[in-house]
Amino acid sequence: MLYITKSVTFSASHRLYNPEFSDEENERIFDKCNNFYGHGHNYTLEVTVAGEPNPKTGYIIDLKILKKIIQDEILSKVDHKHLNHDVEFLKGIIPTVENLAIAFWNRLENNFQDGKLHCIRLYETENSYVEYFGKKRD
Amino acid sequence: MLYITKSVTFSASHRLYNPEFSDEENERIFDKCNNFYGHGHNYTLEVTVAGEPNPKTGYIIDLKILKKIIQDEILSKVDHKHLNHDVEFLKGIIPTVENLAIAFWNRLENNFQDGKLHCIRLYETENSYVEYFGKKRD
Amino acid sequence: MLYITKSVTFSASHRLYNPEFSDEENERIFDKCNNFYGHGHNYTLEVTVAGEPNPKTGYIIDLKILKKIIQDEILSKVDHKHLNHDVEFLKGIIPTVENLAIAFWNRLENNFQDGKLHCIRLYETENSYVEYFGKKRD
Amino acid sequence: MLYITKSVTFSASHRLYNPEFSDEENERIFDKCNNFYGHGHNYTLEVTVAGEPNPKTGYIIDLKILKKIIQDEILSKVDHKHLNHDVEFLKGIIPTVENLAIAFWNRLENNFQDGKLHCIRLYETENSYVEYFGKKRD
Amino acid sequence: MLYITKSVTFSASHRLYNPEFSDEENERIFDKCNNFYGHGHNYTLEVTVAGEPNPKTGYIIDLKILKKIIQDEILSKVDHKHLNHDVEFLKGIIPTVENLAIAFWNRLENNFQDGKLHCIRLYETENSYVEYFGKKRD
Amino acid sequence: MLYITKSVTFSASHRLYNPEFSDEENERIFDKCNNFYGHGHNYTLEVTVAGEPNPKTGYIIDLKILKKIIQDEILSKVDHKHLNHDVEFLKGIIPTVENLAIAFWNRLENNFQDGKLHCIRLYETENSYVEYFGKKRD
């Protein structure tokens, strides 16, 4: 088994906010991430696919195909968007980096003919990131 | 003359939009940067100060002082904010990386006792940045 | 299960030296790392916490809390210090990057209410690092 | 168990091409990677060794020894070479990043007295890499 | 005057070789860069344009336009190519990073309606690069 | 005129301290950088040489020669050393990044047959650096 990873970036804004909380609670819990109009990040998304190299091509998965899946399923929906307002598949989700990683996994999981989705790593800044390996590894 | 540079980061959202333009013009000119609710970036701001090292300390400027000036004048106003809505000193400015660099220069220019502001370099992504040396070098 | 990682940096000096060895052995084994007055590094410390996101907040652990734990337990003790002379919890330890990773794990392990310490990754330079997952995964 | 990783770089060129395919198939499958004269990369190779720190030295493996093994077994053969033409141990292999990672593992695996080879991570660009943990973890 | 920089990458191979030299001279002067089949790099190209921001848009030059110029004039010709064999505008040039920077400047110089080409910075590896400001600044 | 830059790293420790100051003054001015046993950094040193490419080789200066000059004049003296105690040419200098940059310039300036020393850029951390262009540009 080998693991191949493709890294992409996108720029988006978000606001951390739970409508069930009072304003004071939102302010206390989410602090500066609770700013009404939001704030933003250059996110880096790493998608790892596990598999055996095809002996004819030496590829687990053609990176052009992997990139197209990521583009179609994720980047075309989230790049240069406000994650709370503009993204259908994130409706009702507090867009923390944890919840985004799970949502991206769910978008991507069933798109692979070659190899199998193994890991989503999502950087919110250069100094903080989340990894998710799907439910099967819980 | 030596040049010392301090690099900091902040996370903010913005929307590129000129109220004098029609919606169609804004869309055509600013494209995905014109998204109504905005999008965001992890900006990296490099501030360069020019001067001679003080012979007693070996410092052009104490980096703690430089950092405090940047924190007070810039970061405390823009970090985790929406640059179109939340920042007094950016009112009426289209928040392109060019205009932000000029606005940051103007905020910082008169704060230095040791050394002299030499350059603002502002990265909007890892792959694009603007440099501004002030009016005096025009 | 998700994994969230916070990355921080600190600057410290150290000397690799075993008092049980002769000077010649120390010199042969630790080579330039055995320099009497020590040498130094900008270390990068990545701390990974495993857990489920809290459904109310979307957080495994609030990164401000994670950062405060790292600051109080590690950075306040080692940043701008000589690791052989100045750090109580490193007394008697040869401060290789391996031993530092274990010592940092032991300092951090019992500080988490939300999530569980999963991994310490410690970079001594950009090109070398150690990972430690605790005794339980041996 | 701890894991220590050494990262090195090399510059090489390659061409993706399967002699069993027709020119059209090679072109369709390998696309611009099939360019007749090849193209090249600055590869980054990370080699991870697992083990317990020696209590006398605090080392899993002396990084100078690890670096020498990588230099002798890999870098001296592939740096500033054309991977299809110049490298004996890659003959008959389509030099995808996947196949290179496996070939490098096989070159390195039996060279360790201290610690045990745990992972090969090979970056072809900053945005794509492969990880291989050997056959034993399949 | 402001300066805006766009950074792009491409992967190419090359061989340093002067047909006027004997094999021995080529070997002695260009050393491992003289390998017959070539070797390769992930080059990073930074293109800097100087100008005043347009007051209506806040742009010196729309980065999409800058990127298109770089793509059309440079990347479409050199990416995934062998610089000695495949690139018309490099014929007869020893493809050192110095000569590539000059050649890229000459390709780009007359393509700008907004702003003016100010600098080409070309990285051959992360640790070495050339800057060229055109003949006018000699 | 072109500019070629070579980047290298070294690891060293230092203490900021002026023997003319009282302990209280040293503590107040140099703060945590005044720690008695010192602290350390992975420094990155960029050396820029200006010149015209030799038409026979395409080189301003052979990077192997540039690297050897840096190795002989700087790295062999400062790498894995304590800059206050171990380095002859830094005796009597407060080893701030400013003073180091000037001292390195003075060591390097007269070593070039091809090209001319143009700039020393010295990073103390990833987020702070000094540039020095020599006395001639004051």
Cα end-to-end distance, chain A, whole Å: 20
Give the phi and the psi of residue F6 in degrees, each rounded to 5: -115, 135
Q: Which pLDDT band holds residue E138 (cuts at 50, 70, 90)?
A: very low
Cα end-to-end distance, chain E, whole Å: 20
Query: Which tens digit of pLDDT belongs to each residue from B44-66?
Result: 999 999 999 999 999 999 999 99
pLDDT over 60 (residue E137): no
- Spell out which residues of chain E touch residue B21, defining contact as CB-CB under 8 Å: 56
| Distance of alpha carbon D35 from alpha carbon D26, whole angstroms | 10
What is the pLDDT, as a whole number, of residue D138? Answer: 44
B136 to B17, B119, E7, F45: CA distances (angstroms): 29, 11, 27, 30
F138: its two tokens: 């004051």
Residue of A nearest to D101 (CA): A2
Other CB atoms within a 10 A radius of the CB of residue F127 amount to 17
| β pairing state of D81-82 and D2-14 | parallel
pLDDT over 90 (residue F128): yes
Q: Which residue has the higher pLDDT, F32 or C138?
A: F32
- Spell out which residues of chain F touch residue B131, defining contact as CB-CB under 8 Å: none
Please report the number of interchain residue pairs, chain B to chain F, with beta-carbon separation below 8 angstroms.
54
Q: Is E63 on the interface with B (CB under 8 A)?
A: yes
- Spell out which residues of chain B touch residue E7, defining contact as CB-CB under 8 Å: 126-128
Q: Is B97 on the interface with E (CB under 8 A)?
A: yes
Residue to test with chain E: of B83, B131, B133, B138, most E Cβ within 10 A = B131
Residue of D nearest to A4 (CA): D130
Q: Is D125 on the interface with E (CB under 8 A)?
A: yes
| Longest pairwise C-alpha distance within chain F | 60
Report which DSSP code applies to C21: S
| β pairing state of A2-14 and E81-82 | unpaired
Note whether A58 contacts D95, CB cutoff 8 Å: yes
Tokens 């766009």, residue?
E6
- Spell out which residues of chain E touch residue D84, defining contact as CB-CB under 8 Å: 37
Q: What is the pLDDT along chain D (138 residues), one digit of tens a residue?
A: 999 999 999 999 999 999 999 999 999 999 999 999 999 999 999 999 999 999 999 999 999 999 999 999 999 999 999 999 999 999 999 999 999 999 999 999 999 998 999 999 999 999 999 999 998 644
Q: Is A41 on the interface with B (CB under 8 A)?
A: yes
- Spell out which residues of chain A touch residue D128, defining contact as CB-CB under 8 Å: 4-7, 63
Active site residue E33: yes
What is the pLDDT, as a whole number, of residue A138? Answer: 44
What is the pLDDT, as a whole number, of residue B138? Answer: 44
Please give the torsion angle defined by the CA atoms of residues E123, E124, E125 and E128, in that order, rounded to the nearest 10 degrees.
Answer: -70
Q: Is F126 on the interface with E (CB under 8 A)?
A: no
Q: Is E97 on the interface with F (CB under 8 A)?
A: yes
Q: Is A76 on the interface with B (CB under 8 A)?
A: no
> Contact, B129 vs B43, CB < 8 A?
no
> Contact, E25 vs E90, CB < 8 A?
no
> Contact, B123 vs E4, CB < 8 A?
no
Residues 6+ apart with CB under 8 A from B44: B7, B8, B9, B122, B123, B129
Of A93, A102, A128, the CB nearest to C63: A128
Q: Is F67 on the interface with C (CB under 8 A)?
A: no
Q: Is F53 on the interface with E (CB under 8 A)?
A: yes
pLDDT over 50 (residue F47): yes
Average pLDDT over residues B6-21: 98
The alpha carbon of A127 is separated from its chain's Cα centroid by a whole number of angstroms, namely 16
What is the pLDDT, as a whole number, of residue F130? Answer: 98
What is the pLDDT, as a whole number, of residue C126? Answer: 97
Note whether D99 contacts A56, CB cutoff 8 Å: no
D65: its two tokens: 């020894």
Other CB atoms within a 10 A radius of the CB of residue A104 amount to 24
Of E3, E6, E59, the CB nearest to B96: E59
Closest CA to E99 of E1, E10, E17: E17
* H or E stretch at A72: none
| β pairing state of D128-132 and A2-14 | antiparallel
Of B5, B53, B57, the CB nearest to F128: B5
| Distance of alpha carbon F12 from alpha carbon A118, whole angstroms | 40
Closest CA to D117 of D58, D74, D57, D83: D74
How far away is chain A from the Cα of D31, in angstroms, using its nearest Cα? 10
pLDDT over 90 (residue B122): yes
Do E and B touch, counting CB pairs below 8 Å (3 needed)? yes
Q: Is A63 on the interface with D (CB under 8 A)?
A: yes
pLDDT over 90 (residue E55): yes
Please report the number of interchain residue pairs, chain A to chain D, with beta-carbon separation below 8 angstroms.
54
Please report the number of interchain residue pairs, chain A to chain C, with beta-carbon separation below 8 angstroms.
53
- Spell out which residues of chain E touch residue F48, defining contact as CB-CB under 8 Å: 131
pLDDT over 90 (residue F136): no
What is the pLDDT, as a whole number, of residue D76? Answer: 98
Note whether D37 contacts E82, CB cutoff 8 Å: yes
> Contact, D102 vs D137, CB < 8 A?
no
- Spell out which residues of chain F touch residue E20, defining contact as CB-CB under 8 Å: 56
> Contact, B129 vs B121, CB < 8 A?
yes
- The amino acid present at D120, given as its one-letter code, is I
Percent of chain F whose pLDDT exceeds 70:
98
Residue of B nearest to A126 (CA): B42
Q: Which pLDDT band holds residue E7 (cuts at 50, 70, 90)?
A: very high
Q: Is A6 on the interface with D (CB under 8 A)?
A: yes
Note whether D7 contacts C128, CB cutoff 8 Å: yes
D48: Cα within 13 Å, side-chain hemisphere: 19
| Distance of alpha carbon C110 from alpha carbon C92, whole angstroms | 22
Note whether F8 contacts E133, CB cutoff 8 Å: no
Helical ranges in chain A per DSSP H = 23-30, 63-70, 76-78, 97-108
Note whether B128 contacts E6, CB cutoff 8 Å: yes
* Predicted TM-score of the model (pTM): 0.97
- The amino acid present at B24, given as its one-letter code, is E
What is the pLDDT, as a whole number, of residue C136? Answer: 65
Closest CA to E48 of F56, E137, A125, F70: E137
Note whether F101 contacts B1, CB cutoff 8 Å: no
Report ipTM for this prediction.
0.95
| Distance of alpha carbon C48 from alpha carbon C43, whole angstroms | 16
Query: Which tens digit of pLDDT belongs to each residue from A52-108?
Result: 999 999 999 999 999 999 999 999 999 999 999 999 999 999 999 999 999 999 999
- The amino acid present at E21, given as its one-letter code, is F
- Spell out which residues of chain F touch residue B57, defining contact as CB-CB under 8 Å: 18, 29-30, 94, 96
- Fold (CATH) for F2-62+77-132: Tetrahydropterin Synthase; Chain A (3.30.479)
Q: Is A24 on the interface with D (CB under 8 A)?
A: no
Note whether B58 contacts F127, CB cutoff 8 Å: no
What is the pLDDT, as a whole number, of residue F106? Answer: 98
F58 to A104, E96, E133: CA distances (angstroms): 48, 6, 17
Q: Is F71 on the interface with E (CB under 8 A)?
A: no
How far away is chain E from the Cα of D7, in angstroms, using its nearest Cα? 14
What is the pLDDT, as a whole number, of residue B136? Answer: 64
- Average pLDDT score over chain A: 96
- The amino acid present at B44, given as its one-letter code, is T
- List of chains touching E (3+ CB pairs within 8 A): B, D, F
| Distance of alpha carbon D122 from alpha carbon F29, whole angstroms | 46
Q: Work out the burial of residue B1: count CB atoms within 10 Å of its CB; fewer than 13 is exposed, 13-18 middle, 19 or more buried.
A: middle
SS3 E101: helix
Active site residue E82: no
Q: Is A50 on the interface with C (CB under 8 A)?
A: no
> Contact, B82 vs A13, CB < 8 A?
yes
Other CB atoms within a 10 A radius of the CB of residue A119 amount to 19
- Average pLDDT score over chain B: 96
Give the phi and the psi of residue E12 in degrees, each rounded to 5: -150, 165
D4: its two tokens: 């220590």
Break chain B into its structural domains and give their ranges. Answer: 2-62+77-132
Query: Which tens digit of pLDDT belongs to each residue from F64-88?
Result: 999 999 999 999 999 999 999 999 9
SS3 C106: helix
Note whether B5 contacts F97, CB cutoff 8 Å: no
| Distance of alpha carbon D65 from alpha carbon D114, whole angstroms | 10
- List of chains touching A (3+ CB pairs within 8 A): B, C, D
- Spell out which residues of chain F touch residue B59, defining contact as CB-CB under 8 Å: 96, 98
Q: Is E33 on the interface with F (CB under 8 A)?
A: no
Average pLDDT over residues E105-129: 97
What is the pLDDT, as a whole number, of residue D136? Answer: 65
